[in-house]
Chain A
Amino acid sequence: MATLSDPLSERGAARAEELLAERRAALARRTDRMFICLMTMQWVIGIVFAVWISPLTWAGAFSRTHIHVLAAVFLGGLITSLPVVLAFRRPGAALTRHAIAAGQMLTSALLIHLTGGRIETHFHVFGSLAFLAFYRDWRVLVTASAIVILDHGLRGVFWPQSVYGIGFIQPWRFLEHAAWVFFEAAFLAYSIRQSLGEMRDAAARQAQLEEVNELIERKVTERTRELARANEELEAFSYSASHDLRAPLRHLEGFSAILEESFGRKLDPENRAHLARIRTAAKNMSRLIDSMLELARVTRCELRRAEVDLTLQARLIVDDMRQAAPERAVKVTIAPHLTAQGDEDLLRIALTNLLSNSWKFVSSQEGAEIELGSALAPEGTVYFVRDNGAGFNMAYSRKLFTPFQKLHRPGEFAGSGIGLATVKRIVERHSGRVWAEGAVGGGATFFFTLPAPEATAIIGGCPPRSEAIPTPVRPRPPAPA
């Protein structure tokens, strides 16, 4: 597997170049935007200064607008116009940044001129070169330097006063100004080179990271697919195994019943007890298989979302339980108007498991009570089923939702050990959470959440809950030997 220390592949190198180009283009666009502001601001400031310092020129008692104001407005505007238009129309283009470099240096020339060649105004040249270095393109510095040198050279020959502030200069003065510009430009170019190197390294690192991530992603997808396939096979195997086990079990139970019916009276008490144990074991195993099938079903089926009246469902379930055990005196409190979004069949199964779980564990309790309710919490509505039954040890609370895990001694409470695991699967399929709190002898509370509908991707519907398993027909008694 590739690691971050491996050299870049050919594709990775191409991607690194692409990333570098993208970053440089973004940098150029960003710097263009900066210069739109800077150049517009310089233009306005130039006008303000011109109006402030030399608004009018005079002839005796008469005045007119000073040429400096006109130059600041029109020549300054002309100098600013093309770079700004290019920055808007063609951001990031090479022509734009060279036009900006030229415009910036022409602005320096204008400001130097308007201030009568003040040496302090020359700082605008150096500041501008530093700003232009933001492009990280040494060619821009060449353009800018060339304009400065051209301006100083030409004006030095024809109008030295306007650039150097003195009317007569030695030829080396031009070279001195050029040398200072070269001095700064050279250092900036070196810094640009360093910076580009760092950008290139960063791009290479990102390309490498992308490559590794892509590889990991591919592996994860592959593994996930394999796992899903294995899981599907396992579920299918478990479903068909459970399904196929039911038929021989029915036969076992059916034929045991026939045996008891036909020969029950002829058997001695001990053998009759053996036959009864066979039938009880067959029934238990049948229940266990039913539970396993249900667990498989809630995992495999697709959900069909609708608004579910949990209060109504709970009442129906409790009615069933009361009818099945009319001798039990259990006080059941169900909060009114409990609704949730989800698959009605599955939520009914979950509620059945939770309520029958409580029903079972309050069986030995005087004044048994079960309550279904809800509460508001930061994560949304939390539903709960609370009882004052046998409870459990919190140290083992995690095991509660594991298939075939029971926290009580065998024979103490009947059950397959799959009910709560089924609840967990159903709630998790609705992107919810389930947990329990309790104490030994202090009752138990089971909480679950059912998040907002958009959190769950629900389509389709569950297959029929039970499938037709042929009931064994009463076979003819075996022929006497």
Chain B
Amino acid sequence: MMKGREGLWGLAAAAWFAAALGGFLALNRYQAAPGAAGETPPRWPAESRLSPAADRPTLVMLAHPQCPCTRSSIGELAWIMIRAKGRVSAFVLFLQPDGKPRAWVETDLWRAAARIPGVQALADAGGAEARRMGAETSGQTLLFDAAGRLLFSGGITGARGHPGANAGRDAVLAALLDGGTPRGTTQVFGCALASPEPAAQTARLAWRL
């Protein structure tokens, strides 16, 4: 009887361990799942309201002011700016959806970005600049040279909300410090900048109810 019960507990423990591994697997898959990659322009978009620097490269990061994962992107941007030592001008454009007040945008993320030397934090009303830059995911970073050519486009974190060395950050730094050619794009990890389609919103609302 005791042996049998012991065996049952052993089976329960094995099932528990397998379930925990499954949970970790799902969590890691989510963390490693990139956001949607938009189609970025090869040159500085003429319709942009921003004025790029004429004497040095310009970096633009599109960010969602409420996205927790973007904290890592801001952290990586600070890392880049410190090492670039004034060789780049940077904008962080925080999405301000229609109807959202200024306070919704000026979060601690905004303040963290504004504190980085050489970075200008701005509100992107209605996500117009994000659309012009072809950015769909918070943390999307674009680097243009002084002539307005796109040098790099992608994310500067290795996973959702995970700071630390990664390909995107290294590529931007290489372009700025060594004048190297960009290594193409990297995946972007963060919240979606665009609101979901109305049908999807309704479905989610129904699910919540």
Contacts and interface: CB of A to CB of B under 8 A. Distances in A.
B195 A116 contact: no
B196 A117 contact: no
A82 B16 contact: yes
Interface in A148-167: 151, 155, 158-159, 161-162, 164-167
16 contacts: A54-B68, A54-B161, A57-B68, A58-B191, A59-B192, A60-B194, A61-B100, A75-B20, A79-B20, A95-B6, A99-B13, A113-B27, A161-B32, A161-B166, A166-B164, A167-B167
A74 B31 CA distance: 16
B166 A60 contact: no
Pick the 10 closest A-B CB pairs, nearest first. Answer: A60-B195, A167-B158, A54-B68, A165-B164, A61-B97, A75-B23, A161-B158, A59-B192, A116-B162, A82-B16
A144 B173 CA distance: 40
B164 A117 contact: yes
Contact of B159 (A55, A98, A162): A162
B9 A86 contact: yes
B13 A59 contact: no
A102 B161 CA distance: 26
Contact of B165 (A75, A158, A166): A166
Contacts of B193: 60
Interface of A: 53-64, 66-68, 71, 74-75, 78-79, 81-82, 86, 90, 95, 98-99, 102, 106, 109-110, 113, 116-117, 151, 155, 158-159, 161-162, 164-168
Given A53-B68, A54-B68, A60-B193, A167 B165 contact: yes
Nearest to A75: B23
B204 A82 contact: no
A212 to B, nearest CB: 37
B202 to A, nearest CB: 11
Contact of B13 (A54, A78, A79, A95): A95
B12 interface: yes
A60 B195 CA distance: 4
Contacts of B192: 58-60
B191 A59 contact: yes
- Residue picked from A64, A99, A161, A162, most chain B C-beta under 10 Å: A161
Contact of A71 (B13, B27, B195): B27
Nearest to B196: A59
B201 interface: yes
Nearest to B163: A116
Nearest to B95: A60
Contacts of B162: 116-117, 161-162, 165
B191 A95 contact: no
B13 A113 contact: no
B166 A58 contact: no
A113 B32 CA distance: 12
Contacts of A102: 13, 17
Nearest to A90: B9
Contacts of B166: 161, 166-167
Contact of A95 (B10, B23, B99): B10
Interface string B43-77: 00000000000000000000010111100100000
A155 B28 CA distance: 9
Interface string B153-190: 00000110111111100000000000000000000000
Given A57-B191, A59-B195, A167 B68 contact: no
A94 to B, nearest CB: 10
A106 B201 contact: no
Nearest to A63: B66
Contacts of A95: 6, 9-10, 13
